[in-house]
Homo-oligomer: A and B are copies of this chain.
Amino acid sequence: MKVAFQGEHGAYSEVAVFEHFGEGVEALPCESFDDVFAAVSDEQCDCGLVPIENSLAGSIHRNYDLLLHNRLHVIGEHYLRVSHCLIGLPGVRLDEIRRVISHPQALAQCEQYLRRLPGVRVDPVYDTAGSVKLVREAGDRTTAAIASQRAAQLYAMDVLDEKIEDSSSNFTRFLKIACQPQQPQDEAKTSIVFALKNQPGALFRALSVFALRDIDLTKMESRPLTGRPWEYFFYIDLLGSSGDQNVHNALDNLEEYATFLRVLGSYPRHRRDM
């Protein structure tokens, strides 16, 4: 089993890959989200795992757009608890640190913690795991990186401090994408994308097909429809499988109102205590 993810080895996406598939899986690092979708489409790997939303930062819009522009299927989801470590060269003490580097989003998520470190400069770099690699390569005892515990182990670095994120409710939801759809057996979720005629009440009518059938929506996101300013694609996640009669009827009903409708996939629901 080979799974594509975005980032360097030690990235949070790779942590999610091993949590979801187990340690036996082969994780294939890709430079961009586009490359993950391409690796799956070209069958260089069995599937991909891409982040779609973070509970603090919001949706990862590029991946919504890529779901639309590729003919792949969503076959699973995974919730990862994001916990940041402050990582330095082996033997370094916390009070030696004068500079902290990481991805801008990781830095933002540790803002209050970083403010409590006296006289420390903060610099953004392109990647969390990449920031650990940079400190390692520079051999710089006064610079620390913010990344996952796995990144520290991988580059044989010391964890100077852990759980340094300001909010403990920091989760990222990942989608598992593959060339072939799956039909989930258990409790399921379904992801769809659709577009509507630009007329008053259109979205209300679209949502009615779910509400009137007691189908629970867990997420809605809108993205611009390229070439048609201020019209949108709507992405919805709902509880149930497209194979359920109730959901099937709702989607048939939605097709009457929609100018475009695609089922991105039905997959087993991942539950996680939060």
- Give A contacts to B, CB under 8 Å: 53-58, 61, 167, 169, 171, 173, 200-201, 203-205, 207-208, 210-211, 214-224, 226-230, 274
Assess whether A224 is in contact with B61, with CB atoms less than 8 Å apart. Answer: no
Bound state CA distance, A221 and B200, in angstroms? 17
The A contact surface, by secondary structure, is mixed
Report the copy number of this chain in the oligomer: 2
The residue on B at minimum CB distance from A64 is: B58
Assess whether A221 is in contact with B222, with CB atoms less than 8 Å apart. Answer: yes
Given contacts A201-B211, A210-B204, contact A169 B227 (CB under 8 A): yes
Bound state CA distance, A200 and B218, in angstroms? 9
Q: Which B residues touch A169, using CB under 8 A?
A: 226-229
Bound state CA distance, A37 and B205, in angstroms? 37
Q: How far is the CB of A202 from chain B (nearest CB, A)?
A: 9
Given contacts A204-B207, A217-B203, contact A167 B226 (CB under 8 A): yes
Bound state CA distance, A173 and B230, in angstroms? 10
The residue on B at minimum CB distance from A210 is: B204
Given contacts A223-B58, A224-B55, A224-B58, contact A171 B229 (CB under 8 A): yes
Q: Which of B167, B203, B230 contacts A227 (CB 8 A)?
A: B167
Assess whether A229 is in contact with B58, with CB atoms less than 8 Å apart. Answer: no
Which residue, A171, A201, A215, A221, has most C-beta atoms of chain B within 10 A?
Answer: A201
Assess whether B204 is in contact with A211, with CB atoms less than 8 Å apart. Answer: yes
Q: Which B residues touch A205, using CB under 8 A?
A: 211
Q: Which B residues touch A218, using CB under 8 A?
A: 230
Q: How far is the CB of A194 from chain B (nearest CB, A)?
A: 14
Q: How far is the CB of A125 from chain B (nearest CB, A)?
A: 14
